[in-house]
Amino acid sequence: MSDPTGVALSTPGGHALPARFASATATVEPRRRGTGLVLWVTGALVAVATVGALQITASLGYDDTRDEFDSTLDATQATVTEVTRSVGELVATSDTAVRLLDSDSGVLADSAAKDELTASVDEAGDARASAEEVVGAALPEADTKPVFFWELFGASEGLRQDIEGLDDLDTELSKESPELTSAETQLTDAGVAFLGSAASAAASFEQAHISAGNDAVIALRDAATTAAGASALDDTAVTSFIALQDAASQVIASEKAELSEKSGPLKSVRLEIEAFARSLAPGVLMEFDWNPIVNGAGSNGSMGGLTTWWWDEPDRAVIELSNSVAEQWPSDRSKALVAHEVGHAISVKCEDMYDSSTQDSIEKWATAWAISMGFSDDANGVWAYGYPPQSYIDAASGCR
Amino acid occupying residue 70: D
> How far apart (Å, rounded) are the C-alpha atoms in residues 143 and 375?
98
Q: Residue 39's pLDDT is what?
A: 65
Q: What band does 127 get if pLDDT is binned at 50, 70 and 90?
A: very high
Q: What band does 221 get if pLDDT is binned at 50, 70 and 90?
A: very high
Centre a 10 Å sphere on the Cβ of residue 248 and count the other Cβ atoms it contains. Answer: 25
Query: Do residues 264 and 292 lie in contact, with contact meaning Cβ atoms separated by under 8 Å?
Result: no
> How far apart (Å, rounded) are the C-alpha atoms in residues 296 and 303?
9
DSSP 155-188: HHHHHHHHHHHHHHHHHHHHHHHHHHHHHHHHHH
Positive or negative: CA dihedral 31, 37, 39, 42: negative
Q: What percent of the chain has pLDDT over 70?
A: 88
The total number of residues written for the chain in this structure: 400
Beta strands (DSSP E) in the chain are 285-291, 305-310, 316-322
- Upstream peptide bond of 389 is cis (omega within 30 degrees of 0): no
> How far apart (Å, rounded) are the C-alpha atoms in residues 133 and 124?
14
- Digit-coded pLDDT (tens) for 30-89: 555 556 666 666 666 666 778 788 889 989 999 999 999 999 999 999 999 999 999 999
Q: What is the pLDDT averaged over residues 122-137?
A: 91
Amino acid occupying residue 247: A
Q: What is the pLDDT averaged over residues 294-323?
A: 94
Q: How many helices and strands in the chain, by DSSP H and E?
A: 11, 3
Q: What percent of the chain has pLDDT over 90?
A: 79
Closest CA relative to residue 103, chosen from 195, 193, 180 = 195
Q: What band does 10 get if pLDDT is binned at 50, 70 and 90?
A: very low
- Backbone torsions φ then ψ of 258, nearest 5 degrees: -65, -45
Query: Do residues 248 and 206 lie in contact, with contact meaning Cβ atoms separated by under 8 Å?
Result: no
> How far apart (Å, rounded) are the C-alpha atoms in residues 102 and 138?
37
Least confident span in 23-37, 278-292, 299-313, 379-393 = 23-37
pLDDT above 90 for 366:
yes
Q: Residue 147's pLDDT is what?
A: 85
Q: Residue 6's pLDDT is what?
A: 41
> How far apart (Å, rounded) are the C-alpha atoms in residues 295 and 308?
12
Cut 0.75: pTM above it: yes
Q: Residue 14's pLDDT is what?
A: 46
- Digit-coded pLDDT (tens) for 315-353: 899 999 999 999 999 999 999 999 999 999 999 999 889
> How far apart (Å, rounded) are the C-alpha atoms in residues 128 and 261?
54
Q: What band does 116 get if pLDDT is binned at 50, 70 and 90?
A: very high
Q: What is the mean pLDDT of the chain?
A: 89
Q: Residue 16's pLDDT is what?
A: 47
> How far apart (Å, rounded) are the C-alpha atoms in residues 296 and 220?
35
- Alpha-carbon separation of residue 128 from 121, 123, 178, 213 (angstroms): 10, 9, 12, 46
Q: Residue 179's pLDDT is what?
A: 93
> How far apart (Å, rounded) are the C-alpha atoms in residues 146 and 156?
10
- Upstream peptide bond of 30 is cis (omega within 30 degrees of 0): no
Domain positions in the chain are 45-208, 264-396
Q: What band does 199 get if pLDDT is binned at 50, 70 and 90?
A: very high
Q: Residue 317: CB partners within 8 Å, gap ≥ 6? A: 284, 285, 286, 287, 307, 308, 309, 310, 344, 345, 348
Q: Tell me which DSSP letter residue 282 carries.
A: T
pLDDT above 60 for 385:
yes
Q: What is the pLDDT averaged over residues 116-125?
A: 97
pLDDT above 60 for 13:
no
Q: Is 100 helix (H, G, I), strand (E, B) or coil?
A: helix
Rounded to a whole number of angstroms, the CA Rg of the chain reads 53
Burial label for 383, CB within 10 Å (0-12, 13-18, 19+), is middle
